Amino acid sequence: MNILLFGASGTAGGAVLQACLDAPVVYEVRTIVRRPLGRTNAKLWEIVHSDFLHYAQVAEAFRGVDACLFCLGISVTQVSKEEFVKISHDYPVAAAKMLQAESPGAAFHYISGAGTRAESTTFWAKVKGETENELMKLTGAVCWRPAFIDAEPSATIPKIYAALRPVLRLLKPFRSLYVAGEDLGRAMLQATKENLRRRVIENAEIRELAGRFGK
């Protein structure tokens, strides 16, 4: 498989990247990032890019891809509402359209998060829910709703997350509340293998898919 990954410098994306690099089924991982990740790997092709609304300059990265794993995102507490919509909706929709143009058969995977609902009265949940619906209609996207993702906290994640991580890890036995970061990546690869499309996947099913993929 050739994988295109967004958000590789992040908490979720970093763990998903590691799962892809470790998986024999993955031949190449292309990452579109704002800044170099500072790591090398024979499978890794890093593309530094600044405009996440337009991808014509990096169209080559979208060609011959089996799946795009869109792990780029931000907490609503870190940006204005306008910026949140741009990052959570406009960026993935632009990437999904480019993927459809350059790799029409590829799967698009979008991380939203537990609690996402288009009908919600909570701003972030509604924005992400509407984005899920649009992406499923547009490209048959698979939408991931993880609860707590246990992974190395990035430099950008809200500080409270890093502080609470030891406590949140106690949630591990609860299948609907906890997922190991690399298991999220393995689940995305398994969903690609199983050719899942137009689906919302909640936390417990993420763990089931990761279990089917194996270590």
Ligand X SMILES: NC(=O)c1ccc[n+]([C@@H]2O[C@H](COP(=O)([O-])OP(=O)(O)OC[C@H]3O[C@@H](n4cnc5c(N)ncnc54)[C@H](OP(=O)(O)O)[C@@H]3O)[C@@H](O)[C@H]2O)c1
Residue 87 interacting with ligand X (CB under 6 A): yes
- Spatial contact of 20 and 189, defined as CB atoms under 8 Å apart: yes
> Mask: binding to ligand X, 162-191, rule CB under 6 A, as x and -?
------------------------------
Rounded to whole angstroms, the Cα distance separating 190 from 205 reads 11
Of 44, 128, 118, which is closest to residue 89 (Cα–Cα)? 128
User: Quick check: 146 and 111 in contact, CB under 8 A?
Assistant: yes
Binding marks (x or -) toward ligand X, 39..78, rule CB under 6 A? Answer: -------------x------------------xxxxx---
Should residue 215 be labelled a site residue for ligand X when binding is judged by CB under 6 A?
no
Binding of ligand X by 136 (CB under 6 A): no
Q: Give the range of 5-13, 22-30, 38-46, 57-65 binding ligand X by CB under 6 A.
A: 5-13
Helices 181-193 & 11-22, crossing angle to 10 degrees? 60
Sites for ligand X among residues 139-158 (CB under 6 A)? 146, 148-149, 154, 156-157
For the CB of residue 31, give the shortest distance to ligand X in the complex, in Å. Answer: 9
Distance CA 115, CA 123 (A): 11
For residue 23, CA distances in Å to 85, 183, 189, 214 come to 33, 12, 9, 10
Binding site for ligand X (CB under 6 A): 7, 9-13, 34-35, 52, 71-75, 87, 111, 113, 146, 148-149, 154, 156-157
